[in-house]
């Protein structure tokens, strides 16, 4: 579904992503792991069309994606729930969700998807008219995921969805990711909770300073001594 090939992305003269290549197959959960500054969020932002490539290519469903404006990337079927949620805090839950469907013209479909989001996250439906800024971190994460889903993405990119959340809420978010996959959504997951991410992932890539150091199935990486020592706190 998605192929990133020899991608280089820079901030000024500094290359943040240094020629990485990876693929995401339809129906998979693929995770990108690494410490702060490894290039994970930069990679997602480049795929979303928010950052230009220095070199390399991004292909989605056989069509070139790099160089396309961000709103056109959404129309192609890719949505991102960004790090830090980036909600419109003074706007209501429902208005935030409606903004996720900005590129759609099918009013009946948008209405149905809104109902589906409220079924997936009942607290959002119960408090749909309240300002997003009044919600807890976990509830805001639900809203951020819901907003991304309102564009009906084929590929959903999640950037640090468990950041700052309690263990119970983290488990809820991870269970939601599994449920979305079961409904046919392909997921590219950036997550510092390496254990949780690899437990879900069909495939994982470990980044260090803008380069892919390891790649394998999620299960294999979870049992890899190098990954365990570096990211799972194992002796």
pLDDT tens digits for range 182-224: 999 999 999 888 899 999 999 999 999 999 999 999 999 999 9
Q: What b/e string do you get for 56-88 counting C-beta neighbours within 10 Å, with b at 16 or more?
A: bebebeeeebbeeeeeebbeebbbbbbbebebe
pLDDT tens digits for range 1-35: 999 999 999 999 999 999 999 999 999 999 999 88
Domain 2-77+153-231 has CATH 3.40.50.280: no
Contact 54, 12 (CB under 8 A): no
Instruction: Provide the residue ranges of all domains of the chain, joining segments of one domain with +.
Output: 2-77+153-231, 86-150
φ, ψ of residue 19 to 5 degrees: the values are 80, 40
At 105 the three-state DSSP class reads coil
């Amino acid at each position: 579904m998605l192929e990133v090939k020899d991608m280089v992305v820079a901030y000024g003269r500094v290359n943040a992503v240094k020629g990485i290549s990876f693929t995401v197959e339809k129906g998979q959960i693929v995770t990108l792991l690494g410490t702060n500054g490894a290039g994970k969020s930069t990679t997602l932002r480049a795929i979303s069309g928010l950052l230009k490539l220095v070199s390399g290519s991004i292909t989605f469903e056989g069509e070139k994606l790099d160089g396309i404006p961000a709103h056109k990337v959404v129309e192609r079927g890719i949505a991102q729930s960004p790090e830090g949620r980036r909600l419109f805090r003074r706007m209501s839950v429902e208005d935030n969700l409606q903004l996720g469907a900005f590129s759609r013209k099918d009013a009946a479909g948008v209405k149905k998807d809104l109902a589906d989001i409220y079924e997936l996250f009942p607290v959002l439906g119960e408090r749909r008219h309240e300002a997003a800024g009044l919600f807890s971190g976990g509830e805001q994460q639900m809203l951020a995921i819901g907003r991304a889903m309102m564009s009906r993405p084929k590929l959903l990119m999640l950037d640090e969805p468990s950041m700052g959340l309690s263990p119970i809420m983290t488990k809820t978010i991870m269970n939601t990711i599994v449920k979305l996959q079961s409904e046919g959504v392909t997921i590219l997951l950036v997550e510092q909770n390496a254990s949780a991410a690899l437990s879900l992932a069909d495939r994982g890539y470990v980044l260090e300073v803008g380069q892919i150091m390891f790649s394998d199935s999620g299960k294999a990486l979870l049992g890899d001594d190098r990954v365990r020592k570096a990211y799972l706190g194992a002796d």
